[in-house]
Amino acid sequence: MKDAVLIITAVVLTLAAAGAIVRIAVGPSLLDRVLASDVLLGIVGAALAIDMAVNRHLNNLFLLVALTLIGFIGSVTVARFVSDRRGQANDS
């Protein structure tokens, strides 16, 4: 049963990662690419969490926290950058 669940989660995460990579490559706007990279970081974080749960260890916990912080800070930074650019465009 455990092996079947691992295979299903691996397939789902792989398909989600492939979709995110396609959106990063094709995405028509900067926001699409940023959102897709944030989703990709979330998928990597989910894979790390699943690995820790299955193997019952906390070796990847610091990496998981670092990925989460990088994703959050990157998303907030881009959102502020885009909102500043849109505010300047409306002022003109």
The average pLDDT across 67-86 equals 88
pLDDT band, residue 92 (cuts 50/70/90): low
Q: pLDDT digit string (tens) for 1-59?
A: 889 999 999 999 999 999 999 999 998 988 899 899 999 999 999 999 999 999 999 99
Looking at the chain, list the stretches that DSSP marks H as alpha helix, in order from N- to C-terminal side.
2-26, 30-55, 61-91
Residue indicated by tokens 């998928």: 43
Residue ranges covered by each domain of the chain: 2-91
pTM for this prediction? 0.86
- pLDDT at position 91 is 66
Encoded amino acid at 75, one letter: S
